């Protein structure tokens, strides 16, 4: 059985959990807003008249006939070659990560053989 100093109070656990959940919601909201806006046309997402256009997609409905559109993704990935950039970045990061971890390991082995 634990002593009183080691026991956590129930109210502290509830407050801590509530704070963490609130913090996650606040921290995630810009990412969710950007994801939501990526399915809208620029006229809705960057509307100076009313910010609720980004929620309801008035101009997106007029331009595409639906409340959401994937034209932005098609333009970036297919027309402008964003997929090639992603693959290139993956290759470069993987190569450098492997290369430098190999050098670090080789340096440790080399130094340990000198000092033994």
Residue 102: what pLDDT? Answer: 74
- What are the residue ranges spanned by the domains of the chain? 1-29, 38-80, 82-116
φ, ψ for residue 6, nearest 5 deg? -90, -15
pLDDT tens per residue across span 93-103: 888 877 777 77
Predicted TM-score (pTM) of the model is 0.56
pLDDT tens per residue across span 3-48: 665 666 888 889 999 999 999 999 999 999 888 888 888 888 887 8
The overall average pLDDT reported for the chain is 82
Top mean pLDDT of 69-73, 100-104, 110-114 is at: 69-73
Q: Give CA separation, 90 vs 3, 17, 65, 76, 86, in Å.
A: 52, 36, 36, 17, 6
For residue 59 the two structure tokens come to 């101009």
């Amino acid at each position: 059985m634990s002593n009183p100093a080691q026991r956590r109070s129930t109210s502290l656990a509830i407050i801590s959990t509530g704070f963490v959940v609130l913090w996650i919601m606040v921290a995630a909201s810009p990412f969710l807003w950007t994801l939501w806006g990526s399915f809208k046309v620029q006229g809705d997402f960057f509307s100076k008249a009313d910010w609720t256009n980004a929620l309801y997609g008035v101009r997106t409905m007029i331009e595409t006939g639906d409340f959401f559109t994937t034209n932005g993704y098609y333009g970036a990935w297919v027309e402008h070659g964003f997929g090639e950039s992603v693959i290139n970045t993956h290759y470069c990061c993987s190569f450098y990560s492997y290369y430098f971890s190999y050098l670090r390991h080789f340096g440790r082995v080399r130094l340990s053989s000198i000092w033994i």
